[in-house]
Amino acid sequence: MELICPAGTPAALRTAVDAGADAVYCGFADATNARNFPGLNFSRRELGEGIAYAHQRGAKVLVAINTFPTAGEQALWHRAVDDAASAGADALIVADVGLIDYAARTHPGQRLHLSVQAAASNPAAIGFYVRQFGVRRVVLPRVLTVSEIAAITGAVDCETEVFVFGGLCVMAEGRCSLSSHVTGQSPNMNGVCSPASHVVYREEGGTLVSRLGDFTINRFAKGEPAAYPTLCKGRFKTSLGSGYLFEDPVSLDAAAILPGLRAAGVTALKIEGRQRSRAYIESVVRGFREQLDALAAGEKPPADRLAALTEGQSSTLGAYRKTWR
Partner 1 sequence: MKLTLGPVLFNWEADVWRDFYFRIADEAAVDAVAVGEVVCSKRMPFFDSHFPAVIERLTRAGKQVLVSSLALVTLERERKHTEALAQAGEWLVEANDVSCIAHLVGRPHVVGPFVNVYNEGTAQWFAAQGARRICLPPELPLKSIAAIAAATSQAEIEVFAFGRAPLAISARCYHARLHKLAKDNCRFVCAADPDGLPVDTLDDERFLVVNGVQTLAHACTNLIRDLDDLAQANVASLRLSPQHCDMVAVISTFRDVLDGRKPPEQGFQELSAIYPNAPATNDFLKARPTTARSLHGGPAA
Residue numbers 28-57 binding partner 1 by CB under 8 A: none
Residues 55-84 that bind partner 1 (CB under 8 A): 68-72, 74
Q: CB–CB of 41/13 below 8 Å?
A: no
Nearer to partner 1, 86 or 147 (CB): 147
Q: How far is the CB of 313 from partner 1 (least distance, A)?
A: 22
Looking at the DSSP bridge assignments, the partners of residue 166 are 252
Q: How far is the CB of 89 from partner 1 (least distance, A)?
A: 20
Nearer to partner 1, 42 or 163 (CB): 163
How far is it, in rounded angstroms, from Cα 191 to Cα 275?
A: 12
How far is it, in rounded angstroms, from Cα 154 to Cα 123?
A: 9
Q: Parallel, antiparallel, or unpaired for β 236-238 and 207-212?
A: unpaired
Looking at the DSSP bridge assignments, the partners of residue 163 are 270
Binds partner 1 (CB under 8 A): choice among 214, 225, 298, 300: 214
How far is it, in rounded angstroms, from Cα 26 to Cα 10?
A: 9
Nearer to partner 1, 56 or 239 (CB): 239
Residue 97 within binding range of partner 1, rule CB under 8 A: yes
Q: How far is the CB of 299 from partner 1 (least distance, A)?
A: 34
Nearer to partner 1, 24 or 212 (CB): 212
Residues 265-304 that bind partner 1 (CB under 8 A): none
Residue 323 within binding range of partner 1, rule CB under 8 A: yes
Nearer to partner 1, 26 or 95 (CB): 95
Which residues, other chains included, contact 166 with Cβ-Cβ below 8 Å and sequence gap of 6+? 6, 251, 252, 271, 272, 273, 276, 284
Nearest to 191 by CA among 76, 24, 86: 76
Residue 228 within binding range of partner 1, rule CB under 8 A: no
Size of the site for partner 1 (CB under 8 A): 71
Residue 129 within binding range of partner 1, rule CB under 8 A: yes
> Please, what sign has the CA dihedral across residues 67, 68, 71, 77?
positive
Residue 124 within binding range of partner 1, rule CB under 8 A: yes
- Using CB under 8 A as the criterion, what x/- string covers residues 151-180 for binding partner 1? -------------------xxx-xxxxx-x
How far is it, in rounded angstroms, from Cα 161 to Cα 1?
A: 9
The dihedrals phi and psi of 324, each to the nearest 5 degrees, come to: -60, -35
Amino acid identity, position 63: V
Residue 107 within binding range of partner 1, rule CB under 8 A: no
The dihedrals phi and psi of 317, each to the nearest 5 degrees, come to: -90, 0
Rg of the chain over all Cα atoms, to the nearest angstrom: 19
Nearer to partner 1, 56 or 323 (CB): 323
Q: How far is the CB of 296 from partner 1 (least distance, A)?
A: 30
Residues 232-261 that bind partner 1 (CB under 8 A): 232, 234-242, 245-247
- Total residue length of the chain: 325
The dihedrals phi and psi of 290, each to the nearest 5 degrees, come to: -60, -45
Nearer to partner 1, 10 or 249 (CB): 249
Residue 218 within binding range of partner 1, rule CB under 8 A: yes
